[in-house]
C-alpha cells in the first residue's frame, strides 16, 4: 500500500512539475497569437490546473499498461475513490452559495444545460444499446461510469453480480480518461458558441 501511494504521489508531483513548465509556455504562445478570437477560445490551455489534470490522466492511463496495474489487488480503486472524494470536497469548498443566488438567471441556464446534457446521455446510451443489442447491465454500468465514476460504477455492477464489480471499475477508468479529453473539446465548443 505504501509503495502504491509512493508511486501515486510521485506521479502527481511529476504532473505538478510538468504543469508548472507547460502552462507559462502555452500562455505566452496564446498571448503572441495574431488571431485573438482563437486565443480567447483556447485560454484554458494556459491554466496550470488544466495541465495538472491532463498530465495526471495521461500518467495514470500510461501506468495501467505497466506492471503497476497489479496495484488493483491491494485496493487501488478504493484508495482512488477516497482521493476523488477529497478532490470533489476541495472543489466544493471553493463554491460561494451567495454568488449562485445573486446570479439566479445564470444558474437556471446552467441547470437547463445540465438537464439537456443528461437527456442526450440517456438517449445516446439507449439508442446504442438497442443497436448493438447490449444487455441492460452495460447500459446501467456504462451510464454510472460516465456520471458517477469509479466511486459508484462498481457498486452498480456488483448489484447485478459481485463478480462483475471489476467491469464497473474498468468502465469507470475508461470514462475518466475519455471524459477528461471530452471535457476539453466541450469547453472549446461552448466558448465558441458563447462568442
Q: In the predicted model, what is the mean pLDDT of residues 181-187?
A: 81
Residue 83 in any domain: the answer is yes
Nearest to 170 by CA among 145, 152, 151, 148: 145
Residue 136 in any domain: the answer is no
Residue 57 in any domain: the answer is yes
Residue 82 in any domain: the answer is yes
CA 148 vs CA 61, 122, 152, 154, 188: distances in Å = 19, 14, 6, 10, 23
Residue 156 in any domain: the answer is no
Please give the angle made by the CA atoms of 141, 121 and 65, to the nearest 5 degrees: 50
Q: How confident is the model at residue 20 (pLDDT cuts 50, 70, 90)?
A: very high
Q: What is the pLDDT of residue 182?
A: 82
Q: Which domain holds residue 88?
A: 1-95
Residue 132 in any domain: the answer is no
Q: What is the pLDDT of residue 38?
A: 65
Residues 66-79 have pLDDT tens digits of: 998 888 777 777 78
- Claim: this prediction has a pTM higher than 0.85: no
Residue 104 in any domain: the answer is no
Residues 41-54 have pLDDT tens digits of: 676 777 888 888 88
Residue 15 in any domain: the answer is yes
Residues 101-141 have pLDDT tens digits of: 788 888 888 889 889 988 998 999 899 999 999 888 888 88
Please give the angle made by the CA atoms of 10, 11 and 15, to the nearest 5 degrees: 120
- Count how many domains the chain has: 1
Instruction: Classify residue 80 by burial, with Cβ atoms within 10 Å: 0-12, 13-18, 19+.
Output: buried
Amino acid at each position: 500500500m505504501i509503495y502504491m501511494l509512493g508511486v501515486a504521489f510521485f506521479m502527481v508531483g511529476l504532473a505538478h512539475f510538468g504543469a508548472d513548465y507547460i502552462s507559462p509556455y502555452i500562455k505566452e504562445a496564446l498571448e503572441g497569437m495574431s488571431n485573438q478570437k482563437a486565443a480567447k477560445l483556447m485560454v484554458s490551455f494556459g491554466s496550470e490546473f488544466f495541465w495538472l489534470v491532463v498530465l495526471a490522466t495521461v500518467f495514470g492511463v500510461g501506468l495501467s499498461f505497466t506492471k503497476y496495474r497489479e496495484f488493483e489487488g491491494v485496493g487501488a480503486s478504493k484508495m482512488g475513490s477516497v482521493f476523488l472524494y477529497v478532490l470533489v470536497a476541495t472543489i466544493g469548498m471553493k463554491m460561494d452559495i451567495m454568488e449562485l443566488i445573486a446570479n439566479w438567471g445564470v444558474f437556471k441556464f446552467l441547470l437547463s444545460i445540465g438537464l439537456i446534457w443528461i437527456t442526450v446521455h440517456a438517449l445516446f446510451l439507449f439508442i446504442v444499446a438497442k443497436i448493438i443489442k447490449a444487455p441492460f447491465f452495460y447500459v446501467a454500468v456504462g451510464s454510472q461510469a460516465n456520471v458517477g465514476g469509479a466511486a459508484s460504477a462498481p457498486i452498480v455492477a456488483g448489484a447485478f453480480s459481485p463478480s462483475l464489480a471489476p467491469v464497473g471499475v474498468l468502465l469507470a477508468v475508461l470514462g475518466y480518461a475519455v471524459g477528461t479529453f471530452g471535457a476539453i473539446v466541450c469547453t472549446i465548443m461552448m466558448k465558441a458558441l458563447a462568442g
